[in-house]
A = this chain, B = another copy of it.
Amino acid sequence: MRMPVLAAALLLAAAAPSPVPSPSQIAAAAPDADWRAVDPDRLLVMELADGRRIAIELAPDFAPAHVANIRALARSGWWDGAAIVRVQDDYVVQWAGAGGRHLPDGVAAHPPAEYDRPAAGLVLRRLGFPDGYAPMTGFAGDWPVAGDGHRIWLTHCYGMVGVGRDMPPDTGDGSELYAVIGQAPRQLDRNIALVGRVLDGLPALASLPRGTAALGFYAEPGQRVPIRRVRLAADMPEAERPRVEVLRTESASFHRYLDASANRRDPFFVRPAGGTDLCNVRVPSRIR
């Protein structure tokens, strides 16, 4: 079989250390001090009925009321026996609670529309390349963000998790969530509360059969993908918790990773772009 896109680069790297590492090689070589362990109180673990697990880091710094709701929903067993109900190609995977509409105690029915927040109090490390949607983009607290100097907001990159809502903006309570599985739908930025991102297990969601009803909903209940349960890692027995780490975006390793992403000099490439897009720079994560 012919050697395909990028395979050659990998094999060459294996044969003799490349003088110019790829972004993923830079991340893999980052020292332990450059990684941040995700707090178990900020880690949501979804188990599909077939046993596969999806680990989601929550973002209380951006959507505290929604994250409080999601923690309360998880603790109440809201998603035990729930299901994935929608998979729209190049867009989102969405899951709903198993029960009806009665929210458990401690869950706010109408949290504020946390679509952005004041820029003050967060350091936005700028990407430094133009963006089609916002005056500036970059990373804050290791999250992909955009901003306008006054406000700052999470961006709808691949793997980001948001809150489904009805038409009025304050109707998203966190009881239905979606994850992005396509080209970043950044038209949704500042229109929906983003609450986290999938750090492990995303391929299990992105490879699900697409729904054939309008908007990618599964046409038949039997097509839905059953969810066993969703728990906060802090509520799991310690031995069962996934230990997820994120590369610190203020680290020297991340700076090198970013530079290498925008200027591919590893052997496969003949012409580095000299730029990149916020959502094409996935913040590296790993499982310990």
> Which residues in A have some Cβ–Cβ distance to B below 8 Å?
1-10, 12, 85-87, 89-90, 92, 94, 96, 101, 113, 115, 127, 129-134, 157-159, 162, 164-167, 169, 175-176, 178, 182-192, 202-203, 206-210, 214-215, 217, 261, 264, 267-280, 282
Considering the chains assembled together, what is the distance between the CA atoms of A132 and B128 in angstroms?
9
Which B-chain residue is minimally distant from A87 (CB atoms)? B207
CB contacts (< 8 Å) of A271 on chain B: these are: 115, 190-191
Instruction: Check A132–B133 contact: CB distance below 8 A.
Output: no
| Oligomer: number of copies | 2
A273 and B2 contact, Cβ closer than 8 Å, known pairs A131-B130, A207-B208: no
* Docked complex Cα distance between A86 and B133 (Å): 33
Q: Could you say which residues of chain B place their CB within 8 Å of the CB of A206?
A: 89-90, 206, 210
B167 and A12 contacting across the interface, CB-CB below 8 Å? yes
Q: Cβ of A2 and Cβ of B203 under 8 Å apart?
A: no
Chain B nearest CB, measured from A198 CB (Å): 11
Max chain B Cβ within 10 angstroms of own Cβ: one of A1, A85, A176: A1
| Residues of chain B lying within 8 A (CB to CB) of residue A167 | 8-9, 12, 267-268
Which residues of B lie under 8 Å from residue A183 when comparing CB positions? 157-158, 182-184, 277, 279-280
A167 CB to nearest B CB, Å: 4
